[in-house]
Structure 1
Amino acid sequence: MSDVPALVNDHGEPLMLVDRPADGVVRITFNRPRQRNAMSVAARTALLSALDDVRETARVIVLTGAGPAFCAGIDLKEANAEGPARDSLGGKAPWIAVQEAIRRHPAIVISAVNGFALGGGVTLINTSDLAIAAEGAQIGMPEIGFGLYPGLAGPSTQLRINQKRAAWMVLTGERISGTTAAEWGLVNAAVRPDELQHEVIGLATRVAEHDPVTLSWCKKALWEIPMHLSDWTSALEFGEGVGVQIRARTDVVAAGLSEFSAGRRNSTQGIPPTEATTPKGIS
């Protein structure tokens, strides 16, 4: 019998649905709705495969969930049946490997949080470069109810938002709404559920209009500063270096400056708020 898990759900459908709603935009939909899109071994394998398959073609990737949930985290029933060693931090935990694949992917990743985002689902939000949630989405870390500290969701949230707010989520186990998550800065904005996919694809389309090399290096800078570089001078020097790397890999900068010098506005030079369908409250 093969050790490779079957990459289909209990209806025989793919665990990851992949579509291309706009030029340069790929949407990956977690497809275990009956399990609230909990990440089994097979689901993690399918997600890593989908990310790898679009590595050369996607400028922006949208992550979302089928049914009433975004992602309920790791499949606890499966993990419990297989013992505690599978996700042990003694080695490279599989869920950490998924986060690293997202973080190091050249495409910008946007979470469209359509419903429940629990535990590892919160980690996905934090690993994504941008996130928009449905106003009524329920977001939380239930781990303390099992006598645990949320091993990945906890630290990733502590690195993303105010410490007192992170502590509230870790210590109470209470869920917050998508609206509160936007107020706290856990997501960029909260919108009506029926508007979520439209708003996220609109955002993804606008981002995807930019040069892929520029997007990739901007993503690197956003992860380096201040995650690794918090010294003022070092951060500024890194930023200058990013510009050098972009110019060495693409002529988009020279072309843009040439257009500007000729008195022509670049299509992606800068869009005033009134021209963009920016969700209310986006930061």
Structure 2
Amino acid sequence: MTTTPTTQTDTEQAVLLEHLPSGISRITFNRPAKRNAMNRAARAGIVHALDECRGRSKVIILTGNGPAFCAGVDLKEGDVSTGDAELDRRSEWAAVQEEIRSHPAIVIAAVNGTALGGGSTLINVADLAIAADEAQIGMPEIGFGLYPTLAGPAAQLRLQPKHAAWLVLTAERINGPTAAEWGLVNLSVPLKELDSAATDLAERVASFDATALAWSKKALWKIPCEISQWTEAIAYGHEVADELRSRSTALAEGLGRFRAGERNPGQG
């Protein structure tokens, strides 16, 4: 296992990256004193970490150091530049979400604590999510007289309308079990079990073919976010299957094992 500070200031390593066995990596937000609020260094750190994982990691776990997962964008920082115009563009908060959404690796949010505003956006943009029972997830923006610019739409696309409205309009926080009941996360577990639960899930997903995972992720985002009509969605499903046949031998190998009476990954 290797641990790499992906972005560093004089006083902090804003994001840590660990490469674990089996094609799994962990990105840890490392500003615990600031509840892992996303300053420019942290946002750029996520971009650097995602770049390093590209072509190497099948699964990426996102989590936070300390009692918070992510308290959203650091509003106290003001306008700060990395000195690199392209990195500045890629590390705008909306751009970071697109970096995660378009990354070929499957992203699992391991929500260890408080996730507010942009922190809840990270949960919604992750492909899978596990929360600690003790987690507190919410959108405080209405208290500032604001609509949550990213967190609101993300919740409205991912959750039932009344659940999204509750988060947007009340500023009240929900815990891990409620987040699981609402479908914001896949599973809620006691905090002491979160790391092992996220790692177990990552290992299961990472046991599958990388190309199949990447194209399945594309399909999960495209349908129904971009394609909502049945016939178009089915046509896209066939397109993805054709791409997998041309790009990977995993399907042919899997069918061969099945026909020979052997088990494939994921089979009981």
- Give the alignment's TM-score, normalised by structure 2: 0.92
Secondary structure of the residue aligned to 2:13 is coil
Structure 1 residue runs without a partner (length 5+): 1-5, 83-90, 272-283
| d(CA) in 1 for partners of 2:90, 2:25 | 28
Q: Which residue of 1 aligns with 2:86?
A: none
Deviation, 1:7, is: 3.0
Deviation, 1:93, is: 8.3
Deviation, 1:226, is: 0.6
CA contact 1:111–1:130 (8 Å) conserved in 2: yes
**1:198-209 aligned within 5 A:** 198-209=196-207
Structure 2 residue runs without a partner (length 5+): 1-5, 81-88
Q: What amino acid is the match of 1:37?
A: N
- Verify: 1:270 aligned to 2:267, yes or no: yes
- Verify: 1:153 aligned to 2:151, yes or no: yes
- Verify: 1:110 aligned to 2:115, yes or no: no
Q: Which residue of 1 aligns with 2:28?
A: 29
Deviation, 1:196, is: 0.1
Q: Which residue of 2 aligns with 1:7?
A: 7
Q: What amino acid is the match of 2:138?
A: G
Aligned CA RMSD, in angstroms, stands at 1.6
Q: Which residue of 1 aligns with 2:3?
A: none
Q: What amino acid is the match of 2:133?
A: E
Q: For this pair of structures, how many residues does the alignment match?
A: 255
| d(CA) in 2 for partners of 1:210, 1:64 | 23
- Give the alignment's TM-score, normalised by structure 1: 0.87
Q: Which residue of 2 aligns with 1:278?
A: none
Deviation, 1:21, is: 3.1
Secondary structure of the residue aligned to 2:107 is strand
CA-to-aligned-CA distance 1:152-187 (integer Å, 9 cap, x gap): 000000000010110011001011111110010001
**1:60-139 aligned within 5 A:** 60-79=59-78, 94-139=92-137
CA contact 1:182–1:188 (8 Å) conserved in 2: yes
CA contact 2:29–2:64 (8 Å) conserved in 1: yes
Choose the corresponding residue for 1:189, options 160, 179, 187.
Answer: 187
| d(CA) in 1 for partners of 2:90, 2:153 | 16
Secondary structure of the residue aligned to 1:23 is helix
| d(CA) in 2 for partners of 1:254, 1:187 | 33
CA-to-aligned-CA distance 1:1-39 (integer Å, 9 cap, x gap): xxxxx93367x3421111123311000100000000000
Q: Which residue of 2 aligns with 1:3?
A: none
| d(CA) in 2 for partners of 1:92, 1:166 | 27
Which contiguous aligned blocks of 4+ residues in structure 1 show a shift greater than 4 angstroms?
none
CA-to-aligned-CA distance 1:48-99 (integer Å, 9 cap, x gap): 00100110100000000000000000001113x77xxxxxxxx998111000
Deviation, 1:136, is: 1.1
Q: Which residue of 2 aligns with 1:18?
A: 17
Q: Once the two structures are aligned, what percentage of the paired residues are identical?
A: 57
CA contact 1:137–1:178 (8 Å) conserved in 2: yes
Q: What amino acid is the match of 2:217?
A: K
CA contact 2:58–2:105 (8 Å) conserved in 1: yes
Deviation, 1:189, is: 0.7
| d(CA) in 2 for partners of 1:197, 1:237 | 39
| d(CA) in 1 for partners of 2:90, 2:29 | 23
